[in-house]
Amino acid sequence: MTDSPDTEETAPARAKPRDSGDILWEETSGSDGGRSGEDGGTQIVGAALIADLVTRLPKKPGVYRMMNAAGDVLYVGKAKNLRNRVQNYARGVGHGGNRTARMIAETTQMEFVTTHTETEALLLEANLIKRLRPRFNVLIRDDKSFPYILLSGDHEAPGLFKFRGARSRKGNYYGPFANAGSVNVTINALQRIFLIRTCTDSFYANRTRPCLLHQIKRCAAPCTGEISPQGYAELVQQTKDFLTGKSQEIKTRFSKRMQQASDELDFETAAIYRDRLAALSHVQSHQGINPQTVKEADIFAVHEEAGQFCIQVFFFRTGQNWGNRAYFPRADRSFDEAEVLNAFVSQFYDDKPVPKLVLLSQDIAEAELLSRALSAKAGKKVQAYRPQRGEKRDLVKQVHFNAKEALARKLAESATQTKLLNGLQQVFDLELPPTRIEVYDNSHIMGTNAVGAMIVAGPEGFAKNQYRKFNIKNEDLVPGDDYGMMKEVFSRRFSRLIKEHGEREDNSDGENGAAADGLPPWPDLVLIDGGAGQLSAVKEVMEELGLTGKVNLVGVAKGPDRDAGRERFFRPGKQPFSLPLRDPTLYFIQRLRDEAHRFAIGTHRAKRKKDALKNPLDEISGIGPARKRAILHHFGSAKAVSRAAVEDLMIVDGVSEAMAKRIHDHFQKG
């Protein structure tokens, strides 16, 4: 999309969305007298603003956005008739509850987009909600991409690989799978049944004898000719048949070959097919629900309890269960289950492939519209509905049971987390239980590849999408200066926080600024891995930024001999103290610190590995991966490149005379 919530005014123009036809972008509207000016006019807000805008709206399908004074998008909605829909907000008709009243009261401007059809409006609405994350919409919290299985098609001996991202590599893709674990289990099973390789192409090219996987009967070893190309091609075809739902045919084929080998007294071959049959039966028995009448479908079931929602999604492809995942969308208590499910499914398929069938646990008001929108996106007929009888209804009931169980576990974890947060409040004398905890740690080896790390935790556990890493940039620091590194990290982190969310007034208002994924931007509690020295360094930064006393700071020092359980806690102006060995709050703090330590070390190792793999050619502008690969293949090493003459470099495909001179000059300067 080409629009932005920060746009102040846009002339009518045309843009082409990803999944629909042309869309007409209307002007941004805040009403002509909508803002205080030099004449001292008052700002029109809320229902009065909306009533003023309605008179200029068309009676066409479209999408509207409601925004507050800071320019934050509060709500994104779609309408079959924009004028009639928005007019309801001015009248206070057609919806109720505190959520809508608060939303209208905070609205200071609106933006409108007209579309040709209501289907296009639904697709655009889902796209904008996922991108802008408005506070009053139903939001998907965990929206990672799904993994696939790739059976490569660009190699003489195709391999099986776990795959995410754009499908740029030639081959057959099977999925989606619910998670990486489901993919790993399936690939392991396919190795046992069909003996397909899973090694990288470079590993394959450098083998002179079969690897361990061949020894344990997980690979046919085409790399060393243990199987003929024709024999391996047959295994590949069998794998394709299995992944496209022909498992019963394969089972019958294996059984016949086993019997034939047995009749011919070739007991070794018969044993091979016996083992492969056993592995195939094991896979089929451990796939859970395997429907007889549903070949390709996604099943959604929603359950609400204590004001929280869980949506369980099961994936069925080729008649096989390819896993499930539980989602806990953020939604106001005023929404009912059908409304949450309707909003969730619309957003879910914004960037994911759509199956032929979408089964729902609730009757949603826009089922027909949703089917049309998904059909337009997928380029094939898609049905979305709630089944009333038969196997499909039984499947939905089973998925709903899983949603209920997942929410029960989530609520139990939340109750435990609430007790731990209350413990932090008591231990550190906080006004309220913390809603956002930030923990900081550094990692380096003798000052090299130094990084700072920040992890975030809240009422629902670790918020990994808000973790941050800081590459230490200050070249004046003495290598290994932990205090200096901590200063840099805090200076960068809190300077940016002030710039983006304004200065914080005190250290107890957990809702200061706009919330992100349910967590406020300002931390209620900051834990620092270190003792009095690190705490003193951080205090200096806070004084410079004018944040003294506005953020609760605690240094967590390891005990004597770095023993867990004997930590000392340091607070500004307070005496250091320790907690009893078996205190649950102490265990919680240790878990927070260990997570920060894990993240910092992982970030440091990744940076160190990247530096270790650096090539001098990377420092030369104009040399990308393809050209670098061609140069190294020609000369064998970067050292040989450094000794090459301009004429030698020009022999390489893709290296012009100017590029050859640039490479030569780079190494000569070095």
Residues 109-162 have pLDDT tens digits of 888 989 888 888 888 898 888 888 888 888 887 666 778 888 888 888 999 998
Query: Which two tokens mark 428?
Result: 């550190």
Query: Which two tokens mark 648?
Result: 């030698």
Q: Rounded distance, CA 616 to CA 613, Å? A: 10
Comparing 146 with 489, the larger pLDDT belongs to 489
pTM: 0.66
| Third-level CATH fold of 437-610 | Nucleotidyltransferase; domain 5 (3.30.420)
Q: For the structural domain made of 297-409, what CATH number should be given?
A: 3.30.420.340
Query: Which two tokens mark 41?
Result: 């006019």
pLDDT score at 143: 64
Query: Which two tokens mark 128?
Result: 């904008």
pLDDT band with cut points at 50, 70 and 90 for residue 596: very high
Q: Rounded distance, CA 648 to CA 651, Å? A: 6
Residues 196-213 have pLDDT tens digits of 999 988 888 888 888 899
Contact 189, 279 (CB under 8 A): yes
Share of the chain above pLDDT 70, in %: 85
Residue ranges matching CATH 1.10.150.20 in the chain? 616-669
pLDDT score at 614: 65
Q: What 8-state DSSP symbol labels residue 246?
A: -
Which CATH architecture group holds 13-132? Answer: 3-Layer(aba) Sandwich (3.40)
Report whether pLDDT(95) > 70: no
What amino acid occupies position 129?
Answer: I
Residue ranges matching CATH 3.40.1440.10 in the chain? 13-132
Lowest mean pLDDT among 179-183, 389-393, 417-421: 179-183
Residue ranges matching CATH 3.30.420.340 in the chain? 297-409, 437-610
pLDDT score at 528: 93
What amino acid occupies position 39?
Answer: D
Which CATH architecture group holds 616-669? Answer: Orthogonal Bundle (1.10)
